[in-house]
Amino acid sequence: MSRLPTLITPELQERYTPVGRIVALVGCAVSIAAPFLPWAWSGDALDNMTIAGYPSPLQMIALVLAAIIGGLLIASWLIKPDRLPWRIGWIRGAKAGTFWLLLYIALILVSIAVELGGLVNVVYGGWIALVGAVLVFGGTRFLVPERQPTLASAVAKPWIEILAIVALMAVALFGTAFALNHDDGGSFVSFLAAAGGFIAILFRTGVMSWLTGVSERHRKVLILAAFVVAFLFPFTQNGSDANMSIATQILIFAATAMGLNMVVGLAGLLDLGYVAFLGAGAFTAAVLSRSAFSTVNFHPPFIVVVLISGCVAATLGLLIGSPTLRVSGDYLAIVTLAFGEIFRITMINLDGQAGPNLTNGSNGIPAIPDLSILGFDFGKPHVVFGITLGRFSNYFFLLLFLLALVILVFVRLNASRIGRGWVAIREDERAAEAMGVNVFGLKLFAFAGGAFLAGVAGSVKAHVDVSVTPDQYVFLTSAFLLAAIVLGGMGTVLGVLVGSVLLNLLPEKLRFVADYRLLLFGLLLIIMMRFRPEGLVANQRRQLEFHEEDEELVERVQEELDETGEMREATR
């Protein structure tokens, strides 16, 4: 793994470790005290940082982050490594957290300056917080980090591990609700930096490795907790449809990306026209709906519409895949890109003039009515436990159920012989064919299966969006779907979910830089490809593929594999 060059040599670290620890602890004390001072001249910036003695929520986050870093530094000083059965990365975690603390405070000060019209509006408390963060960051540079943590093999009592999963899910729920309820762009970006700091500390101390092991031992509890957290999310929005509309689009995007992940992440087929399958499902559902602009007089129940939409998209996948999957690499990418454009133009031409009147051409099919399943009207608000759930909250629950089914299909296929065949094709197509793998058949199945999942997602999207037009399904959407998989981590479920959330949430919260959103997105991808090409949430195989030269990573992964094997043997 590539590392940034440093001017602080090991000799300097060893010589100035005591001084560095003192400087870092002083910086932590300053950073903890600074939130009790005013940071901004006016309360119009961020969340009102003008009152002395009463920290705002964003100031409290800085205080907590600084307190955690200080606790790690004190623990590394007082607790001897031989007193614990496992190695914990006290200094590693502190060093990782200091960077994010400095970034967090710097972003807050910049936001205050931008929103109030200059750095003159940053008062003394903000500058003291910045000085404290600089002291912490500089002091920890002289501390020598410990060996790699070994918490991955730590096993606690089952009730403690289950409690840890519940606590983690609760933090994720309230953290997400807190972030979404901040419409201010500066607050949102600053919160992301703070969240990055907490996550970096978990990784560098080894706690995340322990949580990974806990998740493996209590997989059913983790899945249940995640589902409960997602189910409770609409109840944290006080009946607001603003954030729930974003949440529904994220779930639609994630369900669609999961199908593309089957094609790209597992089978290794580069598809740049995948949005056509999503559009096929949406147009099929729109045509079969009871809209006044529908062009056919056939309106089956919604469950039938979902199946028809998926089958139509899968048929298109078979039609485009049969003649084109004989090619691979760049040629396949060009063919699928052309197919995406052909689909959009075809939908425009089905207007009754250039072709049969099926989609109303570029006008599409508007006024698609809301779903009504078993007497439940998704378009009307409902009161549950005294909380009003609006239209998008209703669709959120339906999409949550749909996403659960899509993930189940993906996971089961990935663990089957079919999934192993896809991975073999992705790694080396010729070797897989020589070993008897039906390369063309599995490729075609991946294409059709991924198209089916996209068509199912599109059938719900048509009712959520109320209207369907050809201009909604352009190449840029395919590019974003592919970017979500690459950014999150190809071949993984959690990676696709993370990538989908980031690529849908960030544009909505960064409207204050609307002219530069694509530029920032491009820079983010460049940084990711440079420092973490395997994605944010990558499996060990792909991580080793991209970082074969990193001996420390290879040794750590080998240790984790050995420890996992020993735990499995012990539990038999």
Can you give the pLDDT at residue 11?
Answer: 62
- Residue 29 in this model has a pLDDT that exceeds 50: yes
Res 6 pLDDT > 60: no
The pLDDT, as a whole number, for residue 506 is 77
Q: How confident is the model at residue 105 (pLDDT cuts 50, 70, 90)?
A: very high
Q: Has residue 503 got a pLDDT over 90?
A: no
428 Cβ contact partners less than 8 Å away, ≥ 6 residues apart: none
Chain mean pLDDT for the chain: 83
Q: What pLDDT does 287 receive?
A: 92
Domains assigned to the chain: 10-234 (no CATH), 241-496 (1.10.3470)
pLDDT for the residue 556: 57
365: number of Cβ within 10 Å? 24
CA 377 to chain CA mean position, Å: 31
The pLDDT assigned to 571 comes to 41
Its pTM stands at 0.82
Q: Looking at residue 131, what is its pLDDT?
A: 93
What's 80-140 look like in SS3? CHHHCCCCCCHHHHHHHHHHHHHHHHHHHHHHHHHHHCCHHHECHHHHHHHHHHHHHHHHH
Average pLDDT of the segment spanning 532-547: 66
What local confidence, expressed as pLDDT, does residue 548 receive?
55
Kindly tell me if the per-residue pLDDT of 165 is higher than 90.
no
Distances from the Cα of 262 to the Cαs of 270, 271, 411, 416, 545, in angstroms?
11, 11, 10, 13, 19
Alpha carbons 365 and 343: distance in angstroms, whole number? 16
pLDDT in tens, 313-357: 999 989 888 887 777 777 888 888 888 899 999 999 988 787 788
CB 343 within 8 A of CB 273: yes
pLDDT, residue 188, reads 81
